[in-house]
Amino acid sequence: MTDRLAIARGYEKALFSGNMDEVAGFFTDDILYWIAGDPPFGGEWHGPDAVIRAFSNREFGLGAADWGSEEMWRDWYEVEDRVIVEIREKSWLKSAPDDVLDQRTCVVIKFRGDKICDMRDYTDARLYAGFLERHRDELPKFAGA
């Protein structure tokens, strides 16, 4: 495994464990995090503080809820100054386990030296929009809106 692959996997491990101080340590001071689509599903965040806040507050996507999930696969590649991870995972609200969000995404993680300077998340926001239509009242981020 190359250093960049190890760094990207270390970043993901810290993110999934909720250790946001460690996550911030993987970023350059001018990190850019972009998710395909317009708010509230996508958008752009600049700088470590904004990116960490977005993760902590679940500012993108469907937000915090009582989710179940299953990772189907996760494939990692390294190309020049970036690491690419292709992901397929299934998620569902525990209150609606038969309505499964089958999401495939591709994240491009660009490096400057041994720090992450740019992340581009190509998630299909249309799937989120459809799920939101069906479950607005069950998603705290959108309930009552």
Q: What is the DSSP string of 44-60?
A: EEESHHHHHHHHHHT-S
What is d(CA 44, CA 29) in angstroms, rounded to the nearest whole number? 15
Query: What distances in angstroms separate CA 92 from CA 18, 105, 131, one per listed residue?
Result: 20, 16, 10
- Helix, coil or strand: residue 15: helix
What is the tens place of the pLDDT at every residue in 94-137? 999 999 999 999 999 999 999 999 999 999 989 999 999 999 99
Whole-number pLDDT of residue 96:
96
User: What is the average pLDDT across 77-87?
Assistant: 96
Whole-number pLDDT of residue 1:
56
User: What is the average pLDDT across 40-55?
Assistant: 95
Whole-number pLDDT of residue 145:
62
Give the chain's length: 145
The percent of residues above 70 in pLDDT, for the chain, comes to: 98
The answer on pLDDT for 81 being more than 60 is yes
Domain layout of the chain by residue ranges? 3-138
Across the chain, the runs of DSSP E, i.e. the strands, are 27-35, 43-46, 67-79, 82-93, 101-112, 115-123
Q: Are 56 and 33 in contact (CB under 8 A)?
A: no
Whole-number pLDDT of residue 143:
84
What is the tens place of the pLDDT at every residue in 90-100? 999 999 999 99
Averaged pLDDT of the chain:
94
The verdict on pTM exceeding 0.75 is yes
Where residue 59 falls (left for φ over 0; alpha for ψ -120 to 50; beta otherwise) is alpha
CATH 3.10.450.50 holds for 3-138: yes
